[in-house]
Amino acid sequence: MKLGAFSVSLSVKDINASKSFYESLGFKVFAGEIERNYLILKNGNALIGLFQGMFENNILTFNPGWDENAEPIPGFDDVREIQKHLKSKGIKLLSEADESTEGPASLMVTDPDGNTILLDQHV
């Protein structure tokens, strides 16, 4: 199964302090709007999302159809196909993609340790 680009979405208390900290580690702002309380930072292939006041806990994020540069990749597994696979394995979904649609959609699951995983397809 091809899940696409991987990033960690961090729930931060002070986006400016977090931005400064991760820039000290060599990350650079790649996308987002600090005025809207979110930034995506990149260091090589590593991606970190900083989100202030948007969700309670950190989230593991995959973007089917995107590489780490937010560029479309050919031959990716659509989030709806991934969803069908997860359901066939008996995995409970927190939220589902509408299987009657095409294009952007998302789903969420929780791993056995309570970590939230977001599959967020933009293409």
Segment 44-74, tens digit of pLDDT: 999 999 999 999 999 999 999 999 999 999 9
Q: Specify the pLDDT at position 118.
A: 98
Average pLDDT over residues 28-46: 97
Q: Is the pTM of this model over 0.85?
A: yes
Q: Specify the pLDDT at position 23.
A: 98
The CATH number assigned to the domain holding 85 equals: 3.10.180.10
Percent of the chain with pLDDT over 70: 100
Across 40-73, b (16+ Cβ under 10 Å) vs e yields bbbeeeebbbbbbeeeeeebebbbbbbebeeeee
Give the residue numbers spanning the domain of 96.
5-121
Q: How many domains does the chain have?
A: 1
Average pLDDT over the chain, rounded to whole?
Answer: 97
Strand ranges in 3-123 using DSSP code E only, listed in sequence order:
5-12, 28-33, 38-43, 46-52, 59-63, 93-95, 105-110, 116-121
The confidence band for 12, taking pLDDT boundaries of 50, 70 and 90, is very high
